[in-house]
Amino acid sequence: MGLNTSDPLTKTQLTYRGWATSRRQFFRQYYDAKSDWVNLTEGEKYYVEASHREGNGGDHMAVAVEIEQANTTGHHHAMKEVQYISISNPNSVYESSRITVNNVENVGNYKINIQNPKDMKYWKSTDIPANATASQVRNAIKGYYSSRSTFGSDITVNKTMYLANGTSTTNQTAATMHVFYINLRKLITGTTTS
């Protein structure tokens, strides 16, 4: 935890447990499952980080806060309150792909075949106009990405056009290459692909 700031570089380890804990046993069972008291300032933001490794199944991790209230004989347990906490995995990314269409002619249609790496079967898009917009490409290929056998996710598609010399352009007629950038809207673990 960053004890005086929201900057991750100031973090200090507060507690560590090298084996499993039962669910929500913060205060009873394990002496090392909770930290010592930390004095915080109301209204300030603090960086909090927790790491968890799954072992043989059934493991879990949770974060709770116990607030010491002045002029009372006990503590206020905040587990039953709504608390807002942002949890992220630094290795999680939004999967992205790129489709490049070269030697574009502004007439006719084409289809995109995508091979699913899970079962090696091919999926074929609907017809896509040669001068397709990003929205048209999205509508033609979203069925592959939204399928449960692939990602089960909606996608966004952005389009950039290039002249023969590699300069980007907004001139549909002069463009010889269309590049469509596809991004999943579902967070998965891994690295981006092109």
DSSP state of 34: S
Q: What are the tokens at 101? A: 């269409």
pLDDT in the model for residue 97: 85
**Is 45 part of any domain?**
yes
Please spell the DSSP secondary structure of 11-49, one letter per residue.
B------SS---TT-TTTT-TTSSPPP----TT------
Domain-terminating residue out of 66, 87, 108: 87
CA angle (177, 183, 185) in 5-degree steps? 160
Tally Cβ neighbours within 10 Å of residue 145. 22
Q: Is residue 128 part of a domain?
A: yes
Is residue 169, in this structure, part of any structural domain at all?
A: yes
Q: In this predicted structure, what is the pLDDT of residue 190?
A: 44
* pLDDT for residue 180: 94
- From CA 188, how far away is CA 90, in angstroms rounded? 11
**Rounded to an integer, what distance in angstroms lies between the CA atom of residue 127 and that of residue 108?**
9
Q: Are 78 and 157 in a shared domain?
A: no
Assess whether 153 and 83 both reside in one domain. Answer: no
Judgement on whether residues 97 and 178 belong to the same structural domain of the protein: yes
Of 62, 2, 69, 59, whose CA–CA distance to 26 is shortest? 62
Whether the Cβ atoms of residue 133 and residue 159 lie closer than 8 Å to each other: yes
9 and 75 share a domain? yes
43 inside domain: yes
pLDDT digits (tens, 9 = 90+) for 12-65: 888 877 777 666 665 555 556 677 777 777 777 777 777 777 666 666 666 666
Query: What's the domain range around 13?
Result: 1-87
Same domain, residue pair 65 and 1 = yes
Domain boundary among 60, 87, 114: 87
Number of structural domains the chain divides into: 2
φ, ψ (nearest 5 deg) of residue 66: -115, 125
pLDDT of residue 18: 73
Is position 75 within any domain? yes
Residue showing tokens 């950038």: 181
Instruction: Looking at the structure, tell me whether residues 133 and 99 fall in a common domain.
Output: yes
Residue stretches of the chain with pLDDT short of 70: 21-33, 54-93, 148-149, 187-194
Residues 66 and 104 in one domain: no
What per-residue confidence (pLDDT) applies to 43? 75
pLDDT tens for each residue of 36-47: 777 777 777 777
